[in-house]
Copies of this chain bind each other. A is one copy, B any other.
Amino acid sequence: MKLFYINDIVSKTTIDGQIEISCWIKNKRTSGAITFLEIEDSTGSINAIAEKNILGDPSYNLLRKTPIESSVKIFGNLQADPHKETLWEIKIVHFDVINKATKQLSPSPRTLNDPFNKKYANQILNNRHLYIRNSKISSVIKIKHQMLIAIREWFNSNKFTEVDTPILTQSNLYDNNNTFNTDYFGTKAYLSQCAGLYLGAMVPALEKVYTITPAFRKESSKSPRHNPEFYHLKGQMAFYNLQETMKLVEDFIYHTVIFIDTNCSKDLSQLEININTKMYEPPYPVISYLDSIKLLKSNGINIKIGQSLNEKAEQCIADKYNKPTFIMNIPSEIEPFPYSLTDDKLFTKTADLLIPNGFGEILGIAEFIYDTEELKTRMKEKKKDPKENNLEWYTDLSKFGDVPKSGFGMGVERLLRAILKLPHIRDCYMFPRLYGRQPYP
C-alpha cells in the first residue's frame, strides 16, 4: 500500500526526514550530470532533481533512460524549490523503476496543456485510456464526483429516496425509433430512454424519489451537447405542481454550484476556471413559450409556433437574461404523452431550463397526468396504444389512486459542462460514447 502522496509533501511545513513516493514521470530534462524530473501522482506534481555524483553512474544512467509515463519509486530529501513554483523540490538519493514505459504518445498525456482543444479531439478519444492521466481531464472527473455528492446531499436532506430503475425495458417514453435494442432471452427489449415512467409508479409508495442512472438515445447528432449514453438525474414528487418544481430545481442547482465552488478550488484552478456563482443564484427568469417565439422573431430568428427551439434560439433567449432561464408551456404536439396539458390543450404544464452562452437546455420539468380518461385521450393523440407499447402497467397507475405530481429530468453532464464552461459534452466522461465513433476504448 502507498502511504504518502505528493499532496502530503507539497503541504508539509517542515523538512522531517527522507521521503519515499510511488509516482509517474510526467516530464524530464537532462543537463549533463543533472536530470530534472517532474513527477506526478493522483494528488499533484512536484519537481525532483537527480545528480550523477549522488546516485552514482549505474543508477543515474538507469534514471536517464527511464522514459516519461514510467512508474517509479523515488527516495529523497526535501529542499526549498528555487523556482518557488511549490514550496519544495525533491533531491533524489535513490530510485527504483516500478514499470518502464515501452511506448510513447504524442503529445504526452500528462504534459498536454490544452486537452479540450478541438485539434486534439480524435487523438484523445482514440487514446482515452491514456489521456485520462492528463490532470485537466482528471480534474473534470474529480469535480463530477463532487457534483454528484452535492446533488445526492441535497436530495437526501430533502427527504427524497434514491431508487433503482431498470435499463432493460419494453416501455418507451418517446418513440421506438431512437432506441438501442437487444434480445432479452428471445424477446425484444430496449435500453431505457428515460426512467421517468418507472419513477411514476414509485410516487404512491415513496412520494419523493430520484435516480441517477444511465440513459440511452440512438440519435445521429454530432452537436457538442448530444451523446447516445449519458447520466440522467430524474426526480418525481407527489403533490408538487410545476411552479414548486421550478423552485426545487433552482434550489438544488444553486446548492450544487456553490458546493463545487467551495469544495473544488484545487481542481478549478487546475482548469483555470472561475465559476459564475452569481449567475446561478435564484430566482431564474421565466418566459412562456409563446413570448419566447415573439422575442425570437423580434431578434430575426424565424420560428413557428409548435416548433422546438433549436440551439441558436435557445442561446438567444438565455443570453438575453444572462441567467438560467425557464421556458414555460411547451406546445403539446412536441411533448410526450405523460405530461399534463393546459386548459386549452395546446400547451403542456412544462418548463425547460436553458443556460446562457450556448450551453442550452440542461433540464426539463413537467406535471403529469394522473386521471385515467385524460391519459387515455392523450395516449391516443400521441399514438401510444398501451397494449402495443407495453404501457398497460403505466395506465394502471391512474386506476389505483395516482395523485397530482411533477418531476424533472436533467442531463448530469450537461450541467457539469455548463458549470465548467467546457467546449463539448465528451469532456465530461471518462469514456464518452459519441455518434460517429465506435464505442472503443
Contacts and interface: CB of A to CB of B under 8 A. Distances in A.
Interface of A: 1-2, 5, 22, 24-25, 41-42, 69-71, 98-103, 105, 127-130, 132-134, 137-138, 141-142, 144-145, 148-149, 152, 156, 161-171, 180-185, 187, 189, 191, 198, 201-202, 204-208, 213-214, 216, 218, 220, 228-229, 231, 238-241, 244, 370-372, 390, 393-394, 396-404, 429-433, 435-436, 438-441
Given A1-B239, A182-B191, A204 B71 contact: yes
Nearest to A203: B42
Contact of A400 (B2, B69, B371): B69
A298 to B, nearest CB: 36
A182 B180 contact: yes
A95 to B, nearest CB: 14
Given A132-B202, A182-B182, A396-B130, A438 B401 contact: no
13 contacts: A1-B244, A2-B207, A24-B204, A42-B238, A69-B401, A99-B402, A138-B205, A141-B164, A152-B152, A166-B433, A167-B167, A167-B191, A168-B439
Given A99-B403, A132-B205, A184-B438, 19 more contacts: A22-B403, A42-B208, A99-B371, A103-B400, A127-B396, A137-B205, A138-B206, A141-B163, A145-B161, A152-B152, A164-B429, A166-B432, A166-B433, A167-B191, A167-B216, A168-B180, A170-B440, A182-B191, A187-B438
B138 A162 contact: no
A100 B161 contact: no
A268 to B, nearest CB: 16
A399 B102 contact: yes
Contacts of A207: 2, 5, 41-42
A437 B354 CA distance: 41
Given A1-B244, A164-B144, A438-B184, A99 B132 contact: no
B430 A372 contact: no
Nearest to A406: B1
A250 to B, nearest CB: 15
A440 B401 contact: no
Contacts of A220: 185
Given A142-B161, A162-B145, A397 B129 contact: yes
Contacts of A436: 185
B182 A163 contact: no
A129 B166 CA distance: 12
A176 to B, nearest CB: 14
Contacts of A435: 185
Contact of A71 (B41, B128, B208, B401): B401
Contact of A439 (B100, B184, B201): B184
Given A164-B429, A401-B98, A42 B2 contact: no
